[in-house]
A = this chain, B = another copy of it.
């Protein structure tokens, strides 16, 4: 990496700092656990799709060629049938849950639907579901769908003042004894705002409401303790910081203190699936939140990334995450702000997950030029947010430095302007 030309905007002290930090990074050896990529690529989208762990390559090959190809249906008994529980149990300590309180099941959206309807049924006499406009859109769609199906409840979406900070005070003020459920993203997908899970959960409980947290943008990046926070329900994504692969199934958590049923009852949640009873009898365990047959190849691929995360430890991951994003913000203030970028994430790292959004008036085009002409991959969220994700298992401080450097180079001497017509539509 020191061989990359630094260009006219190189900042030697920052470069030296990046190299020094990488040299003392306690997680530095984890980068080699991921499949080799184009060495000049700077990948800052692990907040959307995590990288491929080396071990996943061999695991999938074995699953396909040996378990499916050779063992065929015998693999259900030998391995596959228990994987949703087994991987759930491995995710559990990463989110502060008991080992038998987490299971892998369906997509995040479908998991949200199950838990939302389940929660509403557990609060039959309450009419409101509280959320906010920083929540991921699918959460809002699913919440509305669940509200309609579970008897015409009203979804109240509290607005954020600036699109950056979660409206925590307004949410607290809106909680009342007609609130059935408070449902939020733990880290906001666009701004990266990190909610105070414990405070909001306690406030919801104080009015008798249940709480459902979507951990998609925090799991594997931010320490989470569902047990200590007294959380009722949670879902999360496995393909971002957990590196489970494109569209790998979600996980869900249900507090053991709750008596909530799965409204989407299917044979995988039956207490004795292979009895093939015509009557549904839910499993007593978290397995009751499964529905149909899980996509095995995509599911088994979750495990290596979870194992790496557990091995690194969430405290070390968080420490490095904060250091990476702080380094980025420092460099941005000095080098990117003059180019029209503004930080659209909380400036306080205590209120931020592991990605930083940067607004730019020409954000869509600028992000595409980064990808096509600087071999730098962030992602874009409309109307004007370029998200830079820092995945502590494989993002280096030098990656951060190089990313900022390349952006400055794109703007230098009219380079960005030359590519103005490269892409002009979202596809």
Chain A 55-89, CB-CB to B under 8 Å as 1, else 0, gives 01100110011011110111111001000000000
Q: Which residues of B contact A291 (CB under 8 A)?
A: 107, 109-110, 113, 138, 142
Q: Is the CB of B110 within 8 A of A295?
A: no
Chain A 114-150, CB-CB to B under 8 Å as 1, else 0, gives 0001000000000000000100111011101100111
CA distance A138 to B266 in the complex (A): 5
Taking the complex as formed, is A275 at the interface, i.e. its CB lies under 8 A from any CB of chain B? yes
| Chain B residue at minimal CB-CB distance from A75 | B246
8 Å CB interface, A240-278 against B: 245-250, 263-268, 270, 274-278
Q: Is the CB of B278 within 8 A of A109?
A: no
Number of copies: 2
Which of A20-28, A41-49, A203-211 sits within the interface?
A41-49
| Chain B residue at minimal CB-CB distance from A64 | B60
Q: Size of chain A's interface in residues, with CB distance under 8 A?
A: 86
Q: Which residues of B contact A150 (CB under 8 A)?
A: 149
Given contacts A265-B142, A298-B297, contact A69 B57 (CB under 8 A): yes
Given contacts A108-B293, A291-B107, contact A280 B247 (CB under 8 A): no
A–B complex contacts, Cβ < 8 Å, 21 sampled: A37-B70, A38-B70, A45-B72, A48-B73, A57-B69, A75-B246, A109-B268, A109-B291, A138-B267, A140-B279, A141-B270, A142-B291, A144-B265, A145-B280, A247-B294, A247-B295, A247-B299, A250-B292, A274-B382, A275-B382, A298-B298
A residues contacting B by CB (< 8 A) are 35, 37-38, 43, 45, 48-49, 51-52, 56-57, 60-61, 64-65, 67-70, 72-77, 80, 106-110, 113, 117, 133, 136-138, 140-142, 144-145, 148-150, 157, 189-190, 239, 245-250, 263-268, 270, 274-280, 291-299, 301, 371, 377, 379, 381-382, 426-427
